[in-house]
């Protein structure tokens, strides 16, 4: 893989809920099928700090290279059988990054006012979408716990090395490389969010499954058409 972009994903929390297969499958473009676990679809809400964003071979730039991000996603397979991520939305706190990701990767980025506080002992994430009728927001507090050995479900939810999008009417994938996620347990302190309703998903049922990670460094390629 030839990486064109490098970035670190730090202080990251995975919050996941089971969802009905029919509801999520209906939201996917042609060429993608839902990837399920135990017969259910899964939707993830994933806030984190994006650090040291930079083109490959160039240094990070102050301010624009560091910002919070939150994505809302599900898990899919393309017609070539490779699993990956389909995003319902991605909120980010830097407008130039939002515009660039929309233009290059055709991902549904939204500009938001965001902040992250704390770290290994406790972390808080807040966001409020700007320039949007939906007024989508998050207010999340997590207490990270001890290191975890990945079970089959944790691997299914976290170890994803493709993201999918549609560019000029054609399904594309973007390859991603990083070390396996170092996971920790997490205890939910507070959760208020309207990202799911803003994307017209039903309200999550029950408490989320939580995994926390101190982070990884990722290498990202350019989008390519999914093989027929």
pLDDT, tens digit, 9 for 90 and up, residues 81-131: 999 999 999 999 989 888 888 888 899 999 999 999 998 789 999 999 998
Let me know: does 221 contact 185? Beta carbons within 8 Å.
Answer: no
Give the pLDDT band (50/70/90) at residue 156. very high
pTM: predicted TM-score of the whole model, two decimal places: 0.95
**What φ, ψ does residue 146 adopt, rounded to 5°?**
-85, 160
**228 vs 199, which has greater pLDDT?**
199
Structural tokens at position 127: 């966001």
Tell me the residue range of the domain where 62 lies.
5-225
How far is Cα 11 from Cα 114, in angstroms, rounded to an integer?
A: 14
Residue in 53, 174, 24, 46 with CA at minimum distance from that of residue 107: 174
CATH number at residue 19: 2.40.400.10
pLDDT per residue as tens digits for the range 187-217: 999 999 999 999 999 999 999 999 999 999 9
Q: What pLDDT is attached to residue 96?
A: 87
Task: Please tell me the total count of domains within the chain.
Answer: 1
pLDDT tens digit sequence for 12-68: 999 999 999 999 999 999 999 999 999 999 999 999 999 998 888 888 778 788 999
Per the prediction, the chain carries an average pLDDT of 94
Pairing state between β 83-92 and 162-167: parallel
């Amino acid at each position: 893989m030839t990486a064109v972009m490098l970035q670190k994903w730090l202080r990251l929390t995975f919050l996941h809920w089971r969802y009905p297969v029919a509801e999520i499958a209906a939201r996917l473009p042609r060429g993608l099928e839902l990837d399920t676990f135990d017969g259910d679809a899964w939707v993830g809400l994933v806030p984190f700090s994006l650090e040291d964003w930079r083109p490959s071979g160039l240094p990070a730039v102050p301010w624009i290279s560091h910002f919070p991000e939150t994505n809302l996603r599900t898990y899919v397979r393309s017609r070539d059988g490779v699993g990956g991520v389909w995003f319902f939305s991605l909120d980010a706190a830097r407008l130039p990054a939002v515009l660039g990701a929309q233009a290059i990767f055709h991902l549904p980025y939204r500009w938001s006012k965001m902040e992250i506080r704390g770290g290994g002992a406790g972390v808080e994430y807040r966001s409020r979408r700007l320039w949007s009728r939906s007024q989508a927001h998050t207010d999340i507090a997590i207490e990270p716990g001890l290191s975890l050995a990945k079970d089959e479900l944790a691997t299914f939810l976290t170890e994803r090395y493709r993201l999918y999008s549609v560019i000029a009417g054609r399904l594309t994938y973007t390859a991603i490389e990083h070390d396996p996620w170092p996971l920790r347990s997490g205890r939910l302190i507070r959760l208020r969010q309207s990202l799911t309703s803003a994307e017209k998903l039903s309200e999550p049922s029950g408490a989320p499954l939580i995994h926390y990670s101190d982070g990884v460094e990722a290498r990202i390629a350019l989008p390519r058409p999914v093989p027929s």
